[in-house]
Each structure stands twice: as structure tokens, then as C-alpha cells.
Amino acid sequence: MPTIKKTAKRPWMPDRVPFARRAHENRDFYVSSTWRKARKHYLSAHPFCEECLRVGRHTPATVVDHIKPINQGGAPLDESNFQSLCSTCHNKKSGSESWK
């Protein structure tokens, strides 16, 4: 049985775009020096995951998350809209938001 070469162009299939290059509406904000400085400052002031602290665990935070997402009208640089999270808690929160 013949096989199709892997390098063959299949016009019915969309071109694959690597995940890192997929554009979303907030990309420019998240790569800006303003956001990186705000994130670094907030993580230094809040080094533990706020969700884990609520249940008594002391997990180092690696992500600064917007409580109300920017896409839904949250303030991008307002520290009252920030929370420090570990990657596990951030993935849970982001996953639940994507289904809304």
C-alpha cells in the first residue's frame, strides 16, 4: 500500500501554527516591559500562592493572575486586580474561565 510523503502539501488541511506564535488580543500587553515590571514587583511582595494559602499550604507563586480578566473589563495594571498563584492553581482557574 503506498504512503503519502510527510512533506506533501495537503490543501484541505490548515497550516499548523506553533502555540507560541498564536496571536491573542492581549499578547502585546503581556510582553511589554510595563507588565513584566509590575509582575516582578507583585511577586516579590506576594511570594506565596494565594489559593494555596487559603487552604493552609505554603506554595511559592510563579504567576501573577488577573482576578477579573482583561478581556472581561479587568484593569490591566491595577494591583487590586492581581493575585499571585502557583502554576497548578492558575491552570485550574484559567481552565474554568475558558468554559464560561
**67 located within any domain:** yes
Q: What is the pLDDT of residue 1?
A: 65
Radius of gyration of the chain (CA): 19
**10 located within any domain:** no
Name which of 30, 100, 28 is nearest 65 in CA terms.
30
**75 located within any domain:** yes
3-state secondary structure of 15: coil
Cell of 56: 493552609
- Render pLDDT for 57-97 as a digit per residue (tens, 0 to 9): 999 999 999 999 898 899 999 999 999 999 999 999 988 88
Based on the number of CB atoms within 10 Å of its own CB, is 16 exposed (0-12), middle (13-18) or buried (19 or more)?
exposed
**54 located within any domain:** yes
The tally of domains found in the chain comes to 1
Q: What is the pLDDT of residue 87?
A: 96
Domain that holds residue 46: 32-98
Average pLDDT over residues 24-42: 91
